[in-house]
Amino acid sequence: QSVLTQPPSVSGAPGQRVTISCTGSRSSIGAGYDVHWYQQLPGTAPKLLIYGNSNRPSGVPDRFSGSKSGTSASLAISGLQAEDEADYYCQSYDSSLSASVFGGGTKLTVL
Amino acid sequence: QVQLVESGGDLVKPGGSLRLSCAASGFTFSDYYMSWIRQAPGKGLEWVSYISSRGSTKYYADSVKGRFTISRDNAKNSLYLQMNSLRAEDTAVYYCARHYGSGPNWFDPWGQGTLVTVSS
């Protein structure tokens, strides 16, 4: 059971917008720790998608956006494309565990 | 370009030991904190351990504390993970990843991973 909670799966048609939630606790996201998001394409290593809640690394399309509020965060993907089909993970820090923590991952299916 | 390449993964019996290596290139390795993160087959990501830039500070997940040891050789631009008393539940792809900054920040980039299988 992961410290951060994500829905196991989401889906959307090409061109649509989907959101993936990431729920933590008062010792993780709620304590003010930033949330970061990773994209893992099949058979590959995770790749940084969003850092510091809402910042995109160079090369990441602006179709991807992140936000944080209270004990939760969200990743939004607009204008869905077939190549967006992947697993998405959120990451933060939990002070009660003194550890970086991940969500269980969300599999995005593009219909 | 910034690159991390893991090696050392193998099939090992329960109770056995293994040492993973991660070779870094394309950046000043000694300036960065580093971590090991693992992913069991078909499962999510689990942070395992991190080490400060000079190796003076180390943290471990409770699941590996007392069995795994992280280390680094800045002269060789290399990160290591010594794994002892291995269990079936340690079976996973192990990734090394660079930290941004010194705090609980994000990981970028990640290596391609090396597979550790613990089975009799």
Query: Considering only alpha carbons, which residue of chain B is nearest residue A5?
Result: B44
% pLDDT > 70, chain B: 100
Give the pLDDT of residue B102. Answer: 75
Average pLDDT for A50-67: 96
Answer whether residue A76 shows pLDDT above 80.
yes
**What is the distance in angstroms between the CA of the first residue and the CA of the last residue of chain B?**
40
Token output for B52 = 């400060």
Report the alpha-carbon distance of residue B34 to residue B97 in Å, rounded: 6
> How does B69-103 read in b/e, with b if 16+ C-beta sit within 10 Å?
bbebebeebbbbbebeebeeebbbbbbbbbbeeee
Average pLDDT for B33-50: 96
Answer whether residue B104 shows pLDDT above 80.
no
User: Does the beta carbon of A88 lie under 8 angstroms from any beta carbon of chain B?
Assistant: no
Average pLDDT for A33-56: 97
Band of pLDDT at residue A12, cut at 50, 70 and 90? very high
Give the pLDDT of residue A46. Answer: 98
For tokens 């090394």, the residue is: B96
pLDDT tens-digit series, residues B58-69: 999 999 999 999
Give the pLDDT of residue A69. Answer: 95
Please give, rounded to a whole number of angstroms, the shortest distance from the CA of B107 to a CA of chain A.
7
Average pLDDT for A36-52: 97
- Longest Cα–Cα distance of chain A, Å, equals 41
CB contact under 8 A, A100 and B50: yes
Number of Cβ pairs < 8 A linking chain A and chain B = 58
Note whether A57 and A36 are within 8 A (CB): no
Report the alpha-carbon distance of residue A33 to residue A12 in Å, rounded: 30
Note whether A96 and A33 are within 8 A (CB): no
* Residue among B45, B49, B51, B44 nearest B67 (CA): B49
Give the pLDDT of residue B101. Answer: 81
Report the alpha-carbon distance of residue A47 to residue A38 in Å, rounded: 5
Give the pLDDT of residue B40. Answer: 97
Answer whether residue A80 shows pLDDT above 80.
yes
Give the pLDDT of residue B80. Answer: 98
Report the mean per-residue pLDDT for chain A: 96
Token output for A32 = 């003010």
Among A45, A100, A104, the residue with its CB nearest the CB of B47 is A100
Q: What is the dihedral of CA B6, B53, B92, B7, to 10 degrees?
A: 20
